[in-house]
């Protein structure tokens, strides 16, 4: 997965330029996506040691990453059983086909049957234990008559010839005792939890959730529900990022909206450093006159640079009093692309987080498009059932309507200035 993402997003840029504190790099000195992702990987790496794990009940483990490999404590299935409703037989008793066999006592699921007597056929239900002596099951619909006789009647049944092992599920044929059931790092979903339950497991050891402090900056930003004055906008970033983080399995402390005052932001961050593992901010990282995040970090080990990506170019990464900091740009789509391109894949790679984005190789386009002129771009798109992608909306980083209608991000390479089919190098389902 990591190599595929590097191929998709290892975009051209200055691999040696790691940005500067409080200053913007010249426009031509863009950091590549792969270099910026590595910088984030480096600041997150200390969170891996020592390992922080916890043991929790199975039904609380949905979406969590396994901290240790689980080996099967028992066979699955635990005993040899019938794959069909039918007749358990000795295969040699069916040689030649259509010979009459006396119907033995039925074997319901959950019962321990008596050994099968030669020359008989025992009615058996799906999942029931195969009796000693039987080595095959004939489905009832292939028998004559093709239904089970009423209980208590002495009947015979004619059966076709059948090979040994037919319609029998052997003990351990799915997973044998001691085999690896799930590897460390597996994200637990319904299928994985169902497997563990089938193995009789009631608790699992998982990675502890990281706790993230989330803050949005901007004098122009209001909480949803407040009266919208002229020149003001409602905050989308906190909700967009918080929901993405919860989806990825993080605990989120939502600090709300911080005004464009570097001192206020610094005070807020300091008040939370003892309780969080990661700080994520949105806004205040570009080259404008009011950039509170950049200004608040001027005495801290945080690098600001312009990444070769559109939208989402202005970025910051480093530490604030020992806590990793990711500073995303303020436009909502830029925020979303930043999370999907940088934080989500690293959460999956390093911490086995839930809901990993899926890379799609060079999907065909349903309509032509214009590629970005300055930097490789990620456009919103709709992946249809026929496998084609239709680009949704324009390049603007404010187009939340187009983002809401999309289900993929489409990589549009730099350097193609015309229109035409198939210009995307790949997509990412989100």
Q: What is the pLDDT of residues 118-141, one digit of tens each?
A: 999 999 999 999 999 999 999 999
Name, in order, each residue with C-beta under 8 angstroms of 150's C-beta and a sequence gap of 6 or more: none
Give a yes or no: residue 3 inside a domain. Answer: no
The CA distance from 330 to 241, in Å, is 11
Give a yes or no: residue 371 inside a domain. Answer: no
Asked if residue 103 lies in contact with residue 149, where contact means CB atoms within 8 angstroms, the answer is yes
The CA distance from 35 to 51, in Å, is 26
Asked if residue 114 lies in contact with residue 105, where contact means CB atoms within 8 angstroms, the answer is yes
Same domain, 244 and 128: no
Distance between alpha carbon 95 and the CA centroid of its chain, in Å? Answer: 52
Among candidates 325, 341, 422, which has minimal Cα distance to 375? 341
**Helix H or strand E segment including 279:** strand 278-282
Same domain, 233 and 338: yes
Which residues does residue 158 pair with via DSSP β-bridges, in sequence order?
100, 144
Using pLDDT thresholds of 50, 70 and 90, give the confidence band for residue 374: low
Residue 302: the pLDDT is 93
Using pLDDT thresholds of 50, 70 and 90, give the confidence band for residue 357: low
Q: Omega of the bond prior to 77 within 30 degrees of 0, cis?
A: yes
Among candidates 312, 376, 304, which has minimal Cα distance to 341? 312
CB atoms within 10 A of CB 409: 24
Q: What is the DSSP letter of 340?
A: I
Asked if residue 192 lies in contact with residue 69, where contact means CB atoms within 8 angstroms, the answer is no
Same domain, 320 and 412: no
Name, in order, each residue with C-beta under 8 angstroms of 127's C-beta and a sequence gap of 6 or more: 81, 82, 109
Asked if residue 344 lies in contact with residue 252, where contact means CB atoms within 8 angstroms, the answer is no
Same domain, 140 and 254: no
Q: pLDDT tens for residues 381-407?
A: 888 888 778 887 767 667 777 788 888
Full residue range of the structural domain in which residue 408 is found = 377-429
Among candidates 300, 299, 348, 296, which has minimal Cα distance to 323? 300
Give a yes or no: residue 16 inside a domain. Answer: no
Using pLDDT thresholds of 50, 70 and 90, give the confidence band for residue 12: very low
Residue 364: the pLDDT is 58
The CA distance from 353 to 148, in Å, is 51
The CA distance from 380 to 399, in Å, is 10
The CATH code of the domain that includes 197 is: 3.90.105.10
Region 79-83: mean pLDDT is 98
Same domain, 242 and 314: yes
Which residues does residue 139 pair with via DSSP β-bridges, in sequence order?
86
Q: What is the DSSP letter of 209?
A: P
Using pLDDT thresholds of 50, 70 and 90, give the confidence band for residue 366: low
Torsion, CA 193, CA 196, CA 202, CA 205, rounded to 10: -80
Judged by DSSP in three states, 334 sits in helix
CB atoms within 10 A of CB 156: 14
Region 395-423: mean pLDDT is 65
Asked if residue 327 lies in contact with residue 317, where contact means CB atoms within 8 angstroms, the answer is yes
Half-sphere exposure at residue 293, Cβ-oriented, CA atoms within 13 angstroms: 31
Same domain, 283 and 347: yes
Judged by DSSP in three states, 86 sits in strand
Residue 10: the pLDDT is 35
The CATH code of the domain that includes 294 is: 3.40.980.10
Give a yes or no: residue 5 inside a domain. Answer: no
Give a yes or no: residue 392 inside a domain. Answer: yes
Instruction: Estimate the crossing angle of helix 344-351 against helix 33-44, to 10 degrees.
Output: 50
Which residues does residue 426 pair with via DSSP β-bridges, in sequence order?
361, 411
> What total number of domains does the chain contain?
4
Q: pLDDT tens for residues 253-305?
A: 999 899 889 999 999 999 999 999 999 999 888 876 678 899 999 889 999 99
Same domain, 141 and 258: no
Asked if residue 25 lies in contact with residue 306, where contact means CB atoms within 8 angstroms, the answer is yes
Residue with tokens 């969170």: 47
The more confident residue out of 169 and 11 is 169
Asked if residue 402 lies in contact with residue 311, where contact means CB atoms within 8 angstroms, the answer is no
Residue 14: the pLDDT is 34
Same domain, 183 and 146: no
Give a yes or no: residue 397 inside a domain. Answer: yes
């Amino acid at each position: 997965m990591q190599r595929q993402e590097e191929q998709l997003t290892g975009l051209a840029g200055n691999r040696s330029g790691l940005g500067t504190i409080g200053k913007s790099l010249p426009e031509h000195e863009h950091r590549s996506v792969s270099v910026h992702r590595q910088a984030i990987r480096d600041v997150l790496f200390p969170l891996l040691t020592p390992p922080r794990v916890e043991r929790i009940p199975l039904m609380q483990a949905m979406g969590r990453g396994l901290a240790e490999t689980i080996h099967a404590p028992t066979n699955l299935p635990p005993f040899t059983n019938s794959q069909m409703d039918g007749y358990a037989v000795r295969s040699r008793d069916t040689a030649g086909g259509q010979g009459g066999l006396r119907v033995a006592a039925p074997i319901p699921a959950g019962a321990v049957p008596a050994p099968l007597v030669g020359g008989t056929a025992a009615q058996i239900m799906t999942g029931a234990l195969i009796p000693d002596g039987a080595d095959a099951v004939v489905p009832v619909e292939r028998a004559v008559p093709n239904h089970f006789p009423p209980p208590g009647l002495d009947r015979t049944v004619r059966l076709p010839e059948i090979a040994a092992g037919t319609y029998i599920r052997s003990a351990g044929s799915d997973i044998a005792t001691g085999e690896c059931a799930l590897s460390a790092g597996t994200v637990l979903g319904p299928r994985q939890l169902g497997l563990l339950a089938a193995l009789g497991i009631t608790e699992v050891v998982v990675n502890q959730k990281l706790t993230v402090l989330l803050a949005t900056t901007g004098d122009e930003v209001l909480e949803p529900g407040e009266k919208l004055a002229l020149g003001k906008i409602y905050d989308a970033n906190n909700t967009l990022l918080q929901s993405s983080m919860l989806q990825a399995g993080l605990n989120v402390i939502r600090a709300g909206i911080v005004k464009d005052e570097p001192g206020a932001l610094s005070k807020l961050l300091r008040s939370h450093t003892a309780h969080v593992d990661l700080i994520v901010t949105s806004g205040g990282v570009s080259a404008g006159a009011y950039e509170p995040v950049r200004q608040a970090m001027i005495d801290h080990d945080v690098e600001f640079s312009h990444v070769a990506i559109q939208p989402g170019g202005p970025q910051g990464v480093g530490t604030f009093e020992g806590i990793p900091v990711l500073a995303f740009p303020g436009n909502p789509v830029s925020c979303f692309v930043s999370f999907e391109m940088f934080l989500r894949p690293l959460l999956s790679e390093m911490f086995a987080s839930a809901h990993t984005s899926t890379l799609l190789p060079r999907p065909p386009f349903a309509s032509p498009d214009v590629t970005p002129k300055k930097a490789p771009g990620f456009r919103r798109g709709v992946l249809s059932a026929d496998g084609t992608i239709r680009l949704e909306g324009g390049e603007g980083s404010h187009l939340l309507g187009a983002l809401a209608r999309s289900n993929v991000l489409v990589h549009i390479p730099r350097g193609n200035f015309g229109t035409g089919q198939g210009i995307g190098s790949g997509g990412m389902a989100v």
